[in-house]
Structure 1
Amino acid sequence: MDRDDATPPRRSARVLRFPQSKVAPPRAPGGRAELGITPLARQLGLADNQLNGHWCSRCEGLWYGHSLEAQCPRCGNRHG
């Protein structure tokens, strides 16, 4: 019996963990650190609802800034 090309391939029933914003990161034992708002976001006068949260793996915390910013305001890490 030939398989129909429109039939998707079978996938495993394995559940993959996905980090959620309301779950403490696994590597940060006390939760997460608040690293503050970037100088650019302050200079632009962005409101809280215009800020995006970014994760810094080096500081193990969240910093807030413009969506296109990539550098942690505390340590300068640019690799998440």
Structure 2
Amino acid sequence: MIEIVKNGTNGCGSPQYHCKTCGAYGVLEPRQDYTEEEKEIILKAYQERSSMHGIERTFGVCRQTLSVWLKKRRNSFHPLRPR
């Protein structure tokens, strides 16, 4: 009996699977992470006043992913000290 069955697709269009043995859901071949160079290009496009929807259409990056990158970048700066 086959223990892994197809269970629809995720937001990126990759097929989701369900393991009947352990009950896990997931993608068998997850998409590769973005390189640091790709992240920098995308973040620079955002800084040049492109909208999040525009970046999503142009680069294929999910808005939630872009939001996480922006939050990490914002938190990496040192806070300003009052004079």
Structure with more relative contact order (C-alpha pairs < 8 Å, separation 6 or more):
1
Answer yes or no: same fold by TM over 0.5.
no
Q: What TM bracket, shorter-length normalisation? A: under 0.3
- Highest CA radius of gyration, 1 or 2? 1
TM-score by length of 2: 0.22
TM-score by length of 1: 0.23
Q: Where is the helix percentage greater, Structure 1 or Structure 2?
A: 2
